[in-house]
Amino acid sequence: MKRIILIGFMGAGKTTLGKVLAETLSIPFYDTDSLIEHHTNSSISSIFLNNGESYFRNLEKETIENLPKNSSYVLAVGGGLPCFNNLMEILKTLGTTVYLKHDVTTLSKRLTNHAEERPLVAEMSGDALVSYIQEKVEEREMVYKKAQLILEQEEQNIDSIIHRLNLLHQKS
């Protein structure tokens, strides 16, 4: 059974890379935000607006607890998910956690184009967005770095990920 859990800041490419990785490995792909939206029949933005971040973080925990127990998959989690409710430790028991690491400049460029889809940065742009990303990445970095595999930007392609995962599993 193979489970790969992609973590990192919003805009790191967890969903995009996760879909390709799952297809390459011929295993299912799950995205916690999509699972939450499907379960609640509401967008992440609406959940934040109507119920607040705390409510959303509890939905993330429930979603992780309800993942398939005996199957392989690739999972992309929300950027903040590992940092709340002891979920990083739980993720590490589910499979191999992979931190998709990016610099603040790259993240801000990616998020500038899609900020409206991201409730925590929807109203931000320019320097405010860069400052927010810098602050949050610094806060979350110590949790993200608990991942079993940390991939720098230049290593974030399918061949490199599979190679690094194979090396990691050979050691254990």
The answer to the question of residue 167 being in a domain is no
Tell me what pLDDT residue 1 has.
66
The answer to the question of residue 39 being in a domain is yes
CATH of residue 141: 3.40.50.300
pLDDT band of 133, cuts 50, 70, 90: confident
The answer to the question of residue 172 being in a domain is no
Tell me what pLDDT residue 123 has.
63
The answer to the question of residue 168 being in a domain is no
Task: Please give the tally of structural domains in the chain.
Answer: 1
Q: State both tokens at 3.
A: 């489970």
Could you list the residue range(s) of the whole structural domain that residue 111 is in?
3-162
**Partners of 100 in the β-ladder:** 151
Q: Range with the lowest mean pLDDT among 31-40, 77-86, 106-115, 139-148?
A: 106-115
pLDDT for residue 115 is more than 70: no
Tell me what pLDDT residue 117 has.
57
The answer to the question of residue 43 being in a domain is yes
DSSP letter at 153 equals G
Tell me what pLDDT residue 6 has.
97
The answer to the question of residue 170 being in a domain is no
**Partners of 30 in the β-ladder:** 75
* Mean predicted confidence (pLDDT) in 104-113: 80
* Mean predicted confidence (pLDDT) in 78-105: 94
**Partners of 3 in the β-ladder:** 73
The answer to the question of residue 55 being in a domain is yes
Cα–Cα separations (whole angstroms), residue 69 to 45, 64, 94, 169: 29, 10, 9, 20
The C-alpha angle with vertex 35 and arms to 165 and 88, in degrees rounded to 5, equals: 45
Collapse the DSSP code of 147 into the 3-class scheme (helix H, G, I; strand E, B; otherwise coil) and give the result: coil
The answer to the question of residue 29 being in a domain is yes
